[in-house]
Amino acid sequence: MENKKRTRKGPNYTVDFLARMTRVMDRFGDDKIGVKLGRLCIEHGYKVTEVAEVLGVTKAMVYLWFYGTFEPSKEKAVAVKKLIKRIEQMSNRGSTTPCQQESSS
């Protein structure tokens, strides 16, 4: 993928999704890495599709992680932690493309 800087408008999350994620985040906080990833994606406007592509899983699996229903396998947990770290680093620098950069590393 090209490494272009782009303006991020964010996905159009539904009110139901945001309400559910708020309840999940209140329940689990950042104790579960999938929930933490979900919070960061909402805060920084990353689409579930982007995350699924980068991590090599389905959108359905990403949602299950976001909701705290399942935890990633050990192999995927390593990739999720790297993506979380990259999102946090990029947001501190004001960049908007951690998903694209993660896929090339």
Per residue in 33-48, pLDDT (tens digit) is 999 999 999 888 899 9
- Token pair for 56: 């090599």
Between CA 16 and CA 13 the distance in angstroms is 8
CB under 8 Å to 30, separation ≥6 — which residues? Answer: 36, 39
Q: How much is the mean pLDDT over the chain?
A: 82
pLDDT for 10:
57
Domain ranges of the chain: 15-103
